[in-house]
Structures are given as structure tokens and as C-alpha cells.
Structure 1
């Protein structure tokens, strides 16, 4: 009986050992299937300006969704090259200002491509904060979806950075967008993105005035071949403030972008401007917010004007080229133009150049320092601007003053001819307090008094300062 007991005990031990081996093998297999996480060492992209990551996690098309679900503050998720067939769902992820959560594809070489699929937006943000998404290609495959969306069934999305994204094929309908927020959004940075072949490039806010977009920075983007707007920021209702939402006056800056509607746009009743800016809240938090729009190229729109705005806007040091149509207009849309500053722009247009309709009488409007070449250069309220505050000429004579105003984009040059467009210091517009107002379109210091967007004294166009604007090989003003 004792022998039998010893045999049972030994057999039980062998069974237990076998069970542990099987479980250990299963655990190893399970761990092998998980994304690889390594401790932070060398920064994945030291030129990004982002903090040193706490962990670097590597994943591919088979396991990236599991990796995303476990991201913590300071994690940097590196996606391998390849095609990703399911959405990138960033739901209830909370980074911090010091330790954001980063999701990045390869900065060079073969891309990580997120493929659109019916019924799901490709990058979905839900109640997330301090998130950076970069170096990804988003291909909507012409499904009726959007590229990047802060989803309407959430509550907020703040401190979101979207950079170096290539967004394509979201043009099933005009309402399909490249980037949009459907909930309150603040402290977003949208930069160095290339957005083409979409219904609407950037649609920020909701059509009913909810989902305010607050304190944004939109810079160095290229938006082209959109059915509707290259970009629209919707008007805003009085805000229901959320924890962390800014309540003091803020500025949304739109600078060094190319907004191009030379092809692919809708006509007739569905035609839209390249950029439309709606008004801020009429009372309460946000009512003193401002748009600062400078250093941008607005290029062609055969069916609409290039720019439309209302509310508080400063528009300066931009190039506007619409040789088949109108330039820029401030007009009532959902409210009235209020504080409006239109300064030091160069406008080349086949219709009107600069137009201001029915501005609010209790606010300041100034139109000065502009060089306008158009069939109807200025259409302004009586007494707003005298003839000596802007330089105006017909479109037909633009070539006498500008180097190549009628050329295609790859040769376009709105730089003044040598000796042209000089002005007296007394005609300089008063423009203190605006960011980078002392810089011209090229982001170079103004060294001479000239009408329009260029202000250096070289006899030829010196080109843009390094790192300014999108790097487009077929866009002469971009270099």
C-alpha cells in the first residue's frame, strides 16, 4: 500500500511538471504574440521636438490594436511598414503634457498605411488627450467615411497633434472629411500634413455651432483637390465649458499653408471657398478669441472666392491668386464681420480683390498695405479705406509690377519687379500685437517699405526661409 502511494505521488508530480511545462509554453507563445515593448533608450525621432519616451512599443498590422489598448503616458508606439486593415481607435487614452502618447509610422521609407473600411472612421478619437499621431498614410479607399475624427459620441478631445500625415481618397461625397472634430476640441496642432482627394479637407466644429475648435495651430499643410472647402472652421455658439477648456481669450493661428482648389471642386450650389472662418461665441468664454491668418498661399478656385470670413480675424502677409474668380470677402454668414484687419496681402484676381460687407459698427476694421490686381480691386464701406492706403491696379497690368503673376503654379512669382511697389513709411499699416507681423510671406524680416506680402529689398525673390511651408516640388512660391 505504501508502494502504491509512492507511485501515485510520483505520478502526480510528473503530471504537475507536465502541466507546468504546457502552461509555460502557452505563456511564452502568448507573450510572443504581443507587441514588443522596450525601455526607452535612443529617442525614436530626436528631431520631433517630443519628450523622451518612457517606453517604445513596436507593432505591426497583426497586433497594433492590442498595443493601442495598453498605451500609457509617455509610450511611443512605432508601427511597422505595411497595410493596416482596421481603424486606429484612440479611445480614452490620457497622456500628459510632459509625457504624451505617440503613435507613429516610419518617418522615411515604406509607409504604414491605414486602410479605410465601411462603417468606421480611419483614426477615431474618443475622450482622449495629449495624443500625437504622425507619419502615417490614411487611404479612405473612397468609402463614405472620414480620415481623422474626434467622435460625436464622446465628450472632448484636447491637446491633439496631427503631423506628417498623408490623407487620400476620402472623396466619396463632399461631406467626407480628412480631419474633423465633432466634440469640443482645444489645443490642437495640425501641421505638415498633405491632404488631397477628399470631400472636405479640414472641417472643424459642427454645422449647428456646437463642438467648438479652440486655440488651434494649423501650419505648413497642403490641402488640394477637395470637392468642398479646403478648410472650414464653423461658427460657435456660447460654450458650455468643460474641465481644462480655456476660458481666457485665445488665438487660433493659421499660417504657412497652401490651400489649392484649382481642380476637383464642386460647382453651382455646392461650390465652396478654399477657407471659411465662422464667428466666435457672441458672449461668454471665447467671445474675445481671434483668428490670425498669415503667410498662406490661397490658389485658384474656378467656382468660388478664395476666402470668406466673419467675426474677429486678422489676415496679413498672404498671397491670393484666383485669376478666374474673386479674391477674399468678409461678409455676414451666421453673424457679422467684427474686428477685421486685412494687411499687407498680395491679391491677383479676375473678379473683385478685397470685399468687406456690412461690418459691425462697434469694432475696428482696417484694410491697408495690400497690393491688389483685380478687375474690381476694392469693394469697401464708405470711408473705411482711402485710395492711398492700398495699391490697386487691373489684373491685366499685374505683369508690369509682379515677376510672373499669370504663370502656372510651378513658375508663379508674385514678387515685385525691381523698383516696383515701393511705398512711403507713412502708408505702413499700424499692426502691433500680431504674431510675426514684421515678417513677410517668405517669413523673412521686412527690410523695405513695399506694398503687399513681400517686404525684402533684394531685386529678386529670395525664397522662403528654411522650414517654412509645405515642401511642394511644383509650387514655386513654396520655396
Structure 2
């Protein structure tokens, strides 16, 4: 047999793939196939089960009369699955009494955005629910920009409810209006922990019971995927408002956070509660907390007794309580420790206008400024119990003293930022504002809180910090060329390198353009069929 003939060498490529093109070639098939899909009330139920990582289902305006079931949908951190409505919230998911309006089961990395969820005041219909205890694990769910209405059929009707092990949830910039309970996170028996959550920039008003409650926790279930290392749940920049309506099933605080497992996983977790506005509770505290809590730079207005209550609750102890730089107005008692914090406390730099500023067994009471209610006009701009009129920003030269030592709390989230999100600078201000004079931050009102400040000089006024918070746009990194000309100064690259990168990016775009061209489609699906997905094969 003759020896096999040597194959001819392939000709050398015309160019080597630059890094940007190599990155484009490395796109996963899932990324390349991610799609924007249009749906309406007649098609959405058939389309939801077909969603894959990276897909976005766009719901058209209209009323969606059948329950939205989010079951076995699992995105990824880089490519979540999204179900969104139009920006005007015109896609309305309507409760029908058969089940909760949105039910989430065995799902992860899913985003629900810009939806209106209307419970029609049916007493047993929740807005968004994850239930069934340990049989259901849901994590990294985002609920953002939604409107929850019609969930006031009873005090036990909940806008957002979790009764399964959950972690990594983000609940952001939602309006919850008139619910029986705004959020009920965790089960009443303590066996469905809500862990490592981020609850921010929500407006929760006129609830019959809790604005929000995170339940106490017993020993965690095993083999659920719950985080093995200590985590914190962050509750920040929310507005919690109550009215005088009765609470027939018992009076409730605007916010309650419960205690932690007695040992094992989760026992070292905690809560960071800051930058929130709590207004009015005719029969209960504005905030009640157990476990391990950091409560700073909040504003509390109008409580019948204590604005903040730190206590053992549901057989879970108060472990550690750091309460600093809060402003409290219109309460019989400002801060009440019903029990001593087993692992220590720090009550520091609060500005309190109340008959009694601080009561109970407190070990560390430092730099707090306490005034009678009648003295408030001499300290802050406009003390009031009327929304839209109140302004608790310090007058020039007021609510300040020797610099506070915040080293013990330096590792806590945004411990160096005030209610407006500006730097506390030298830490000499008392209360939630690190400044005096003119408040250029968000005016306290029945609306979403906006972070940051407006106008030159920040919100510091006379002698304040003057640095804006992290919510506004930045000014560019060091070495940025103001004139916009090509320069290697400050960025570690040359003009030629920039041009090469630009060429590489162009090549990458040319290559990936075809892959990513199928961005949005609307096809008359046959009900129950899976949408056809493009598959690409490159020439050899």
C-alpha cells in the first residue's frame, strides 16, 4: 500500500483574530440565541415556559386575566430571564381568585419589571408569591418598577410573599399601595428564611398591617443552596407610610425584622437598615428589630410611643444593635431597648425630638442630642407632622458637636453616608443629615425617595461634607482628557493601541451582528409549541 499522501498545509490566515474578536467568538450559544419576544394577553401563557437564559418577554399593554406561573425558569447571573411590561406599567396582571397572581416555583435569576399587579381586593389573592416551604427553592429573583394595587382584601393579603427558602432577591422601586401587608418575607414558623436580600427605593403606603416584615428564622433547612457564608440583608432608601385605618388582626410596625437562627448557617447574618423614611403609625412603633441590626441615617416621624424598638421577639434574641445618625421627631420615646443586646450595642449621634430620647438597658450611649418637641424649631428648618412641609435639615450651627468615632461601624454598608447619600466628612453632625443650612436633597413626601443632591456645593450647607452620594453620574476617572483628543495620558494605552482596539471591535461587531440580529420577533405561535430558535454553523 502506498504511503498516505501528505495533506497540503492550509494557507496562513490573512490576520490573527484580535482579542475583541476572540471574545466575540467565545460567546456561548445561549448568549447568541438570547431573544426579545413580544407577547399579549392571548399568547403569554404559552410563551413563558419556553423562555431561556437571556430572553426577555415583553408584555403588551392590556389586562392579563390568567395567573402568571414562573415555574422551572432558570436564567444565569450573566443572562437572566426577564418578563417586562411597558414603562407606563400598562401590562396589568389581574387577580382572579383561582391562585396568586404571580406564583414562582423552582426558579432563579428571573426579573419581573414594569408590571401592574392588581389583586382586585380579593381576600386570599397575593401579588407575587413563592410558597411550599422546602419543596420550593427560589433565588436571585428581581422585582423592579412594579405597581401593586388591590391587595387590601384583608390584613393577611400580601403584595409580595415568600414562604420558601429564598436568597439573593432584589425588590426595587416598587409602589405598594393599600395592601393588607406590603411584604411578608419568610414563614410564621421561622422555617423559610429570606436571606441576602436587597430591598431599596420602594414606596410602601397605607398598609393595614406591616409595610414589610422579614420573619424570624429557626435552624436552616439543609441542601437547599442557601449561602454558607455570613450575609446581610440591606433595606435602604425606602418610604414606609401608614395611615389611621384600623388593623383588625393586630397593630403592626411599619417595618419589622426578626431574629436569626440560634446556631449554624445564618447565625452570623445581619440587617443594614439605612436611608429610609418612616412616617406615622397611630398604634405601634415605626421600626421593630431583633437579631443583629445596623440602623443608621434614617428619618422617623410621628409614632404614638417609641419610634424604634429593639427587642427579643419570637424566641429570637436581640444580639447586636448599632443605632446611629438617625433623626427622630414626634414620638413619646425615641429609641427603646426592651432587652439588652447580648453581643453589644452602640447608640451614637442620633438627633431626637421626643419626651424621652433613649430608654432601656443601653451600654454605649454616645453623642446623642435629645430635645423636647417644642425646641425643634430652634434646631431644624421646618419641624412638622405634615408631608410636603416637614424639613428636618439642621439650621446653621445646630445639631453638631465633637466628631463622632464611627470606627466600630466602618465596615457596615454606607456607614459614612447620610440620608441624602453625601459624605459625613468629619462626623460632627447629629442626626440623619451631615450638613446645615439649605437641604438640597429629596424633600420628605408621599413619593419615591430620590438619592443624591441638587445644586452646587452638595447638601452640606454651612460646614457640611459637600460630597455627593453614589447615585448621580460620575465625572470620569483620573487622567480623562477634557478636550476629547487622543491621548495615552492616564489610561495606559497608546493612540495606535486605541485604533487597533477600535478595529478589533469593528471586526467583532461584523462577526456578531448576524448572531445578534434576531433581537426581537413576534411570530404567530401555535399554542403550546416551543418557539423556533435559530442555530448557526460556521463554514469550515
> TM-score w.r.t. structure 2 length?
0.74
Aligned partners of 2:286 and 2:303 also within 8 Å: no
Distance in 2, Cα, partners of 1:323 & 1:306: 6
Residues in 1 aligned to 2:149 and 2:261: alpha-carbon distance in whole angstroms: 33
1:140 aligned partner: 119
Separation (CA, whole Å) in 1 of partners of 2:122 and 2:318: 37
Aligned to 2:491: none
Q: Is structure 2 residue 218 aligned with structure 1 residue 237?
A: yes
Q: CA deviation at 1:395?
A: 1.6
What does residue 292 of structure 1 align with?
Answer: 272
**1:281 paired residue number:** 261
Change (3 A) 1:370 1:433: same
Question: What displacement does 1:332 show?
Answer: 1.4
Q: Tell me the alpha carbon deviations over residues 307-366 of structure 1, each in whole angstroms, 9 at most, x when there is no partner.
A: 1111100000100111544311101112221111001100113311101122244x0111
1:6 equivalent in structure 2 = none
Verify the 8 A CA contact 1:306 1:328 in the aligned structure 2.
yes
The change in CA–CA distance for 1:115 and 1:426 in structure 2 (over 3 A counts) is closer
The residue that corresponds to 2:84 in the other structure is 104
Partners of 2:141 and 2:59 in 1: how far apart? Answer: 19
Where does structure 2 lack aligned partners over 5 or more consecutive residues? Answer: 1-30, 451-458, 460-540
Partner of 1:150: 130
Give the length in aligned residue pairs: 415
Residues 51-450 of structure 1 correspond to what in structure 2 (within 5 A)? 54-108=34-88, 111-144=90-123, 145-152=125-132, 154-266=135-247, 270-322=250-302, 324-334=304-314, 335-361=316-342, 363-381=343-361, 384-386=363-365, 389-425=367-403, 430-447=408-425, 449-450=428-429
Contact 1:342–1:367 (CA under 8 A) maintained in structure 2 = yes
Aligned partners of 2:224 and 2:429: how far apart in 1?
47
Q: Give how far 1:385 is off.
A: 3.6
In structure 2, C-alpha distance between the alignment counterparts of 1:350 and 1:100, rounded to whole Å: 45
- In structure 2, the partner of 1:29 is none
Bigger RCO (CA 8 Å, 6+ sep): 2
1:242 CA displacement: 2.9
Following superposition, which runs of at least 4 residues in structure 1 exceed 6 angstroms of deviation?
Answer: none
Q: CA deviation at 1:243?
A: 4.6
SS of structure 2 residue aligned to 1:198: coil
Cα RMSD between the aligned structures? 2.1
Rounded Cα–Cα distance in structure 2 between residues aligned with 1:350 and 1:176: 29
CA distance in 1, matches of 2:224, 2:157: 30
TM superposition shift of 1:398: 1.6
User: What stretches of structure 1 of length at least 5 have no aligned partner?
Assistant: 1-50
Is the CA contact (8 Å cut-off) linking 1:182 and 1:211 kept in structure 2?
yes
- Which has the higher mean CA deviation after the structures are superposed, 399-408 or 369-378? 399-408
Partner of 1:470: 448
8 Å Cα contact 1:102/1:133 also seen in 2: yes
CA contact (8 A) 1:225 1:265 kept: no
In the TM superposition, residue 389 of structure 1 has moved relative to its aligned partner by 2.3
CA contact (8 A) 1:156 1:185 kept: yes
- Give the TM-score taking structure 1 as reference length: 0.83
Higher mean C-alpha displacement, 121-130 vs 350-359: 350-359
Is the Cα–Cα contact under 8 Å of residues 193 and 220 in structure 1 kept in the other structure?
yes
CA–CA separation in structure 2 for the residues paired with 1:193 and 1:396: 36
Distance 1:408 1:264, change over 3 A: same
Q: 1:265 to 1:74 in 2, by over 3 A?
A: farther
1:232 Cα offset (Å)? 0.2
> CA 1:426/1:452 → structure 2, altered by over 3 Å: closer, same or farther?
closer
